[in-house]
Structure 1
């Protein structure tokens, strides 16, 4: 899509940064006379970009795509007469949230997964990145979500590669039942003898968007996996340390994102030979006052390579008690953001079954409380950052012409206070409306019980 151009623009403040868009139209989709146009109006539109908010704004949607963004007056005049008018009652309209690190089917349970996904989408999450589960279940959930058959975020998922020594892990057994460990198309054991062209092609056939590189893989093997995955059009999402491969070796392999900020703390220290316990933890004393020079150099290289950091601070806080590992992970995340590394917001764990809101709310709060992000910057991690982690910056994480119509409406402004996310009234996913009042958080709490 060519860049959209701006029509009928009025300026306030005398500079491009403060320009207020009266009407922004996607000129790749000029036909505004088709059916099922919806004008989401009477909202302050927070586009997710650096542009100023659009007061008394509106978003014109056709099907699952955004056609135009601007003031209510301008869009009402441009929209066809058959347009459905959806009054948001003065809400704040912002891009849907992306959770860049989720698990919904290890072990596989459709009632558990659908209950979790329902809470996610009614809590404002419109896309999730599933980081390797039983893809027989996940692929069907992704299809049903895309088709509008169940209330759920859009689902992008990865197939899983690790060294053969990893595959006595119990999680592998339950997520690949019916296969010998390491032989399932979505969970493959890889070594120096593996035909990687075939292995990646088999993984690609599951519908995976990426290969997740997990553990017990040497640097040369991580590099070969990455090269072959990219050759076949897949992304590579890796753990920050892929024992015995250290963080800098993982990044040098060319992976697209690394998960778990705490794992980057292994940089500059001897790397354990295997993921299997007993495994030496990071040296927390190195992070008491600052990020060590070796980690700082690593982060600069990530910035140079456009490698996304999937921070997952919630991993070290989901028990409710802050830990020294959380402090180290937060310090690394803060420094990464300072250096210009794109940070995404992933959770890895759900909140407790009786919590009415998903874990992404807590992850964003941790980015503010522990890593020093502003609320707006934390929201960027869950929008433009999440889109970057998925390789979908062109159509996710922003409210703009041509982007997918994934948005949420809140009664209060979350860019000032993240607790305003709990005032969510409406989730719009692929142009479909879900009102928060239609969700009973107590109804399926038992089904959301975590099954380790």
Structure 2
């Protein structure tokens, strides 16, 4: 009997046989800062890249072959600013009707669309409580197809500002209002601790007013300097980065002085704001596609008058901050604000980075691979095709180093060694 029990326990404990996948690439851009390689063979075992060899070598016995010998392979792309559970042009009153369960289903749909567009890692910067965390777990476990997700949960906001519930009768606001707002350094630090306890991968704050919220008081600084410093110090003490939604120059400057890790949008950044970003080591995520999304809907009855006024304030400034920040040596990283436009169009940001920010195609690709991985503190895990890295791989036709728009049509996607159909 003892022998049978021991044998049974050994059977249960025995690891599953490692799956080996061999991928033939016609052309390989393993790291956009280096020249592309010719025909190559990539071996993936249990979701990780184990070797890369020149030429198309036959697969070993028992391995599965994926023949992409007519394609260009690149590392999976990283979008550092998305809202998976959001949709473009939705009515702000929907938040009084739609449930968080429905938001999760929308997020699952958009997670697949995003992955199929070539984005194998995203930062979800603002979703209903626990929705982003549920999507993160489901994609990690392989229960639904989608990218690797880092989620902030809801944004930390001031009372009555961008990110807070507004535009409703007071009694409706009282019901819909969440626990994401704070006043004063002590309460703001407490919010960060609460979000950390809930499982946030990072903290998102609304350092200034926002374009699409119903509050109509412009895009100026929201949190005080002391409040932002408390948020950043607390987050960093917990090992969490801070992403700051910021449009106005002085709001950007204050957020950078507080030590935020990234400025999201950065629309009206001037020389002082950019210098503050450089001094603090902040990264700019310009979200140029967001402005495409709002431009396409302007004057069509989608936005309320208060929002339309703010939209018109921003459109003449698109791309200026990204170009100036790049010239000043501030890192500029790929992020789109997907949900302000349709999910799946994320790669259109590449052409905007080239045309408006002055990047070369290689620099634009680096902003969505090695540069984005650095911002996420994951540069030893994602952003390159290299031994030991996660098998996040995409394939496209053509040569994106010559025409970056080739990334707008993706033919093959692998996330964590799993093919996304």
TM-score bracket for the superposition, by shorter chain length? 0.7 to 0.9
Q: Matched residues in 1 for 2:110 and 2:167: separation?
A: 19
Q: Are residues 177 and 90 of structure 1, via their aligned partners in 2, closer, same or farther at CA, if it must alter by over 3 Å? A: farther
State yes or no: 1:252 paired with 2:257: yes
Alpha-carbon shift at residue 59 of structure 1 (Å): 1.9
- For 1:83, the equivalent position in structure 2 comes to 63
2:78·2:373 contact (CA, 8 Å) conserved in 1?
A: yes
Alpha-carbon shift at residue 343 of structure 1 (Å): 1.3
Post-superposition Cα deviations, 1:296-351, rounded to whole Å, max 9, x if no partner, equal 34334433433111111122222348978345331221122233322122221447
TM-score (norm 2): 0.77
Aligned with residue 416 of structure 1, among 396, 402, 421:
402
Bigger Cα displacement from structure 2, 391-400 vs 161-170: 161-170
- For 1:317, the equivalent position in structure 2 comes to 292
Q: Are residues 190 and 347 of structure 1, via their aligned partners in 2, closer, same or farther at CA, if it must alter by over 3 Å? A: same
Q: How does 1:131-280 map to 2 (within 5 A)?
A: 131-159=125-153, 160-166=155-161, 169-170=165-166, 181-183=177-179, 187-194=180-187, 196=189, 198-215=190-207, 216-241=222-247, 246-264=251-269
* Secondary structure at 2:346 match in 1: helix
Q: Are residues 205 and 242 of structure 1, via their aligned partners in 2, closer, same or farther at CA, if it must alter by over 3 Å? A: farther
- For 1:384, the equivalent position in structure 2 comes to 370
Q: Matched residues in 2 for 1:145 and 1:171: separation?
A: 34
Q: Are residues 339 and 81 of structure 1, via their aligned partners in 2, closer, same or farther at CA, if it must alter by over 3 Å? A: farther
Q: Matched residues in 1 for 2:18 and 2:173: separation?
A: 46
Of Structure 1 and Structure 2, the greater helix share is in 2
Bigger Cα displacement from structure 2, 124-133 vs 362-371: 362-371
Q: Are residues 86 and 178 of structure 1, via their aligned partners in 2, closer, same or farther at CA, if it must alter by over 3 Å? A: farther
State yes or no: 1:426 paired with 2:412: yes
Q: Matched residues in 1 for 2:168 and 2:288: separation?
A: 24
- For 1:66, the equivalent position in structure 2 comes to 49
1:261·1:329 contact (CA, 8 Å) conserved in 2?
A: no
Q: Matched residues in 2 for 1:89 and 1:42: separation?
A: 4
2:104·2:134 contact (CA, 8 Å) conserved in 1?
A: no
- For 2:9, the equivalent position in structure 1 comes to none
Q: Matched residues in 2 for 1:386 and 1:375: separation?
A: 15
2:268·2:321 contact (CA, 8 Å) conserved in 1?
A: no
Q: Are residues 339 and 53 of structure 1, via their aligned partners in 2, closer, same or farther at CA, if it must alter by over 3 Å? A: same
Q: Matched residues in 2 for 1:110 and 1:326: separation?
A: 31
2:29·2:35 contact (CA, 8 Å) conserved in 1?
A: yes
Post-superposition Cα deviations, 1:372-420, rounded to whole Å, max 9, x if no partner, equal 2222222222222322332222212221222211110012111211221
Q: Matched residues in 2 for 1:200 and 1:194: separation?
A: 9
Aligned with residue 48 of structure 1, among 31, 39, 42:
31
1:125·1:153 contact (CA, 8 Å) conserved in 2?
A: yes
Alpha-carbon shift at residue 153 of structure 1 (Å): 1.3
Q: How does 1:283-302 map to 2 (within 5 A)?
A: 295-302=270-277
1:45·1:58 contact (CA, 8 Å) conserved in 2?
A: no
Q: Matched residues in 2 for 1:323 and 1:70: separation?
A: 52
Q: Matched residues in 2 for 1:59 and 1:172: separation?
A: 55
Q: Matched residues in 1 for 2:344 and 2:167: separation?
A: 23
Provide runs of 4+ in structure 1 moved above 6 Å. Answer: 176-180, 321-324
Q: Matched residues in 1 for 2:168 and 2:65: separation?
A: 49
TM-score (norm 1): 0.72
Q: Are residues 327 and 95 of structure 1, via their aligned partners in 2, closer, same or farther at CA, if it must alter by over 3 Å? A: farther
Q: Matched residues in 2 for 1:156 and 1:165: separation?
A: 27
Bigger Cα displacement from structure 2, 300-309 vs 163-172: 163-172
Number of paired residues? 360
Alpha-carbon shift at residue 80 of structure 1 (Å): 5.7
Q: Matched residues in 2 for 1:172 and 1:341: separation?
A: 40
* Secondary structure at 1:396 match in 2: coil
Q: Matched residues in 2 for 1:195 and 1:424: separation?
A: 42
* Secondary structure at 1:333 match in 2: helix
Alpha-carbon shift at residue 44 of structure 1 (Å): 1.0
* Secondary structure at 1:258 match in 2: strand
Q: Matched residues in 2 for 1:39 and 1:92: separation?
A: 15
Q: Matched residues in 2 for 1:180 and 1:352: separation?
A: 25
CA RMSD of aligned residues (A): 3.0
Q: Matched residues in 1 for 2:401 and 2:199: separation?
A: 35
